[in-house]
């Protein structure tokens, strides 16, 4: 910042940083309760649903959207393609460009966190609220596209239990049509769900296209330092909620001097609060796939149905157990994906994606400079757990995926191919992720093993709260959007007392 620039100043009761899945829920719930909220988002805010300004690609739930991405990548890697780590830079965050699959995981996931206030039975009302706000519903059998209708038959023939509702905290292994936050073909994002009801309430202000640099505590509150159009902006609040996502939230804390003092000094940041675990515990569901070329009849059938209506590439999901699932609970997701053309998820083939839902590998995220526009260094360290747990779960899942593809309901419309290479080298070369990174400011009771306390407050700070998936000590065995919204609901409830 140039010495002559004077910062524009704003204030609110609560400043929420990041208008994503969690942040929109925090801001919306607080504003609805009469709290004056200022929401700061790095990406554009296109206004309410129906404003006519939301890009078609962002609304269209048939495939992932790609236009509003932060652009994080691993850079070149030996022996394999670089990783891309998609994160949305737009109001609604990743809920505005994701697959819109709604899942909740299993009750044991949240109970295992061992954090007061976050056990499954304490979270149930917040799950119910999140599912209602996000308009979650299950696809009905008559909505299954030509490929997914066959997947249901193939799964049943292969011996899977077919379930009508996969969004069930008490259910175990099963296969079925997915539950989604899709409303009349629109990806129903958290901004529509939580901000639209309070946009005219007088309690919500929004600064969009504003990148938050850091947060600083004062005697009575906290001040957010942001940059808008190259100009400094400061926003004061009694409380600041950081909901900038799994990479953004630890980066803001690190730029604020909250982290491992040695690491901070190495990148030119003066330590303020010693919190060695900021940026650690980064983990995700690693994913690989098995696939086949389609016969022309199937491709034409998908094209035909797509011309007539809404045919998403992803509609069915299986939860299964690997040989390592000794607790008797599912630890694998298998989800078929198919589109008639090339999309982010498919290369025009029929795929069965396989994800390890109980990953043990851990990486980290670290800023490389105090510049808020500089991308952090992200190292996911996929498949590095010393016992090879994660790679074993993936290999077992690939065997099930091949079994599914070989059922006649699918084999009849797919071209035969040699069996997939299940070697360690092949899985390591091909591993991707399920877009579900979490855990970089984990919450817990003991400051020695966590960054935030049970109410999200950063240990060592009075007025700064984390309110997104960075809080998760361990990722649930679920797609993480609804859990992220639940975190927003829960943090808002704590702030409202």
Ligand X SMILES: Cc1cc2nc3c(=O)[nH]c(=O)nc-3n(C[C@H](O)[C@H](O)[C@H](O)COP(=O)(O)OP(=O)(O)OC[C@H]3O[C@@H](n4cnc5c(N)ncnc54)[C@H](O)[C@@H]3O)c2cc1C
Binding site for ligand X (CB under 6 A): 17-23, 40-43, 64, 86-89, 93-95, 97-101, 103, 211-212, 243-245, 248, 252, 372, 435-436, 468-469, 479-482, 484
Q: For the CB of residue 95, give the shortest distance to ligand X in the complex, in Å.
A: 5
Q: For the CB of residue 98, give the shortest distance to ligand X in the complex, in Å.
A: 3
- How far is the C-alpha of 388 from the C-alpha of 399, rounded, in Å? 17
Q: Which is nearer to ligand X, 217 or 396 (CB)?
A: 217
- How far is the C-alpha of 441 from the C-alpha of 446, rounded, in Å? 13
* The residue to which tokens 């149905």 are assigned: 305
Q: Which is nearer to ligand X, 353 or 396 (CB)?
A: 353
- How far is the C-alpha of 197 from the C-alpha of 357, rounded, in Å? 34
Residue whose C-beta lies closest to ligand X:
20
* The residue to which tokens 């730029």 are assigned: 255
Q: For the CB of residue 223, give the shortest distance to ligand X in the complex, in Å.
A: 14
Q: For the CB of residue 4, give the shortest distance to ligand X in the complex, in Å.
A: 24
Q: Which is nearer to ligand X, 226 or 394 (CB)?
A: 226
Residue 165 CA, distance from chain mean position: 21
- How far is the C-alpha of 421 from the C-alpha of 64, rounded, in Å? 28
Under 8 Å between Cβ of 323 and 395: no
- How far is the C-alpha of 214 from the C-alpha of 230, rounded, in Å? 15
* The residue to which tokens 């899985």 are assigned: 427
Q: Which is nearer to ligand X, 20 or 237 (CB)?
A: 20
Q: For the CB of residue 478, give the shortest distance to ligand X in the complex, in Å.
A: 7
Q: Which is nearer to ligand X, 59 or 94 (CB)?
A: 94
Q: For the CB of residue 62, give the shortest distance to ligand X in the complex, in Å.
A: 12
- How far is the C-alpha of 139 from the C-alpha of 127, rounded, in Å? 19
- How far is the C-alpha of 184 from the C-alpha of 17, rounded, in Å? 30
Q: Which is nearer to ligand X, 136 or 394 (CB)?
A: 136
User: If you count them, how many residues does the chain have?
Assistant: 497
Q: For the CB of residue 141, give the shortest distance to ligand X in the complex, in Å.
A: 21
- Paired residues of 30 in beta bridges: none
Sort 51 into a burial class: Cβ within 10 Å, 0-12 / 13-18 / 19+. exposed
Q: Which is nearer to ligand X, 245 or 336 (CB)?
A: 245
Identify the CA nearest to 176 among candidates 5, 353, 396, 334.
Answer: 334
Identify the CA nearest to 63 among candidates 287, 350, 313, 315.
Answer: 313
Q: For the CB of residue 119, give the shortest distance to ligand X in the complex, in Å.
A: 21
- How far is the C-alpha of 11 from the C-alpha of 14, rounded, in Å? 8
- How far is the C-alpha of 365 from the C-alpha of 440, rounded, in Å? 7
Q: For the CB of residue 295, give the shortest distance to ligand X in the complex, in Å.
A: 28
Residues 6+ apart with CB under 8 A from 446: none
β-strand 204-207 against 37-40: which pairing, if any?
parallel
Q: Which is nearer to ligand X, 235 or 391 (CB)?
A: 235
Q: Which is nearer to ligand X, 154 or 253 (CB)?
A: 253
Q: For the CB of residue 108, give the shortest distance to ligand X in the complex, in Å.
A: 18
Q: For the CB of residue 93, give the shortest distance to ligand X in the complex, in Å.
A: 2
For 13, list phi and psi in degrees, rounded to 5. -65, -50
Q: Which is nearer to ligand X, 43 or 392 (CB)?
A: 43
Q: Which is nearer to ligand X, 87 or 420 (CB)?
A: 87
Q: Which is nearer to ligand X, 208 or 379 (CB)?
A: 208
Secondary structure (H, E, C), 226-287 = EEECCEEEEEEEEEEEECCHHHHHHHHHHHCCEECHHHHHHCCCCCCEECCCCCCCEECCEE
Q: For the CB of residue 182, give the shortest distance to ligand X in the complex, in Å.
A: 10
């Amino acid at each position: 910042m140039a010495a002559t620039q004077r910062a524009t100043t704003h204030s609110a009761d609560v400043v929420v940083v990041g208008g994503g899945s969690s942040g929109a829920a925090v801001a919306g719930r607080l504003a609805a309760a009469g709290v004056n909220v200022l929401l700061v988002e790095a990406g554009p805010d296109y206004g309410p649903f129906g404003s006519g300004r939301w890009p078609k690609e962002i609304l269209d739930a048939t495939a992932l959207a790609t236009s509003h991405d932060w652009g994080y990548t691993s850079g070149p890697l030996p022996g394999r393609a670089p990783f891309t780590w998609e994160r949305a830079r737009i109001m609604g965050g990743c809920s505005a460009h994701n697959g819109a699959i709604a899942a909740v995981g299993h009750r044991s996931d949240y109970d295992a966190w061992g954090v007061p206030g976050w056990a499954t039975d304490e979270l149930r009302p917040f799950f119910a609220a999140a599912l209602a706000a996000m308009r979650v519903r299950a696809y009905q059998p008559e909505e299954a596209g030509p490929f997914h209708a066959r997947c249901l038959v193939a799964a049943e023939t292969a011996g899977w239990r077919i379930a009508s509702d996969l969004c069930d905290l008490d259910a175990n292994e099963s296969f079925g049509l997915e539950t989604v936050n899709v409303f009349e073909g629109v990806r129903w994002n958290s901004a529509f769900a939580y901000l639209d009801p309070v946009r005219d309430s007088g309690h919500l202000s929004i600064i969009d296209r504003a990148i938050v640099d850091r947060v600083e505590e004062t005697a009575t509150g906290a001040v957010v330092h942001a940059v808008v159009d190259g100009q400094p902006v400061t926003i004061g609040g009694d409380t600041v909620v950081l909901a900038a996502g799994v990479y953004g939230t630890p980066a803001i804390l690190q730029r604020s001097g909250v982290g491992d003092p040695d690491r901070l000094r190495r990148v030119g940041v003066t330590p303020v609060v010693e919190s060695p675990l900021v940026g650690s515990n980064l983990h995700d569901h690693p994913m690989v796939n098995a696939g086949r070329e389609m016969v022309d009849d199937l491709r034409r059938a998908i094209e035909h149905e797509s011309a007539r209506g809404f045919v998403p590439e992803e509609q069915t999901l299986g939860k299964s157990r690997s040989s390592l699932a000794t607790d008797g609970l599912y630890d694998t997701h298998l989800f078929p994906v198919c589109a008639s053309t090339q999309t982010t998820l498919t290369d025009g083939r029929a795929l069965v994606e396989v994800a390890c839902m109980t990953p043990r590998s851990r990486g980290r995220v670290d800023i490389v400079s105090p510049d808020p526009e500089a991308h952090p260094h992200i190292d996911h360290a996929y498949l590095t757990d010393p016992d090879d747990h994660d790679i074993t779960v993936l290999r077992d899942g690939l065997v099930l995926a091949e079994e599914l593809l070989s059922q006649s309901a699918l084999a009849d419309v797919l071209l035969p191919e040699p069996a997939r290479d299940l070697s360690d080298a092949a899985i390591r070369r091909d591993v991707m992720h399920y877009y579900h990174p979490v855990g970089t400011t984990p919450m817990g009771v003991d400051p020695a093993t966590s960054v935030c306390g049970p109410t999200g407050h950063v240990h060592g700070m009075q007025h700064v709260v984390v309110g997104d998936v960075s809080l998760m000590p361990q990722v649930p065995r679920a797609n993480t959007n609804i859990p992220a919204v639940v975190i927003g609901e829960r943090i808002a409830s704590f702030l409202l007392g």
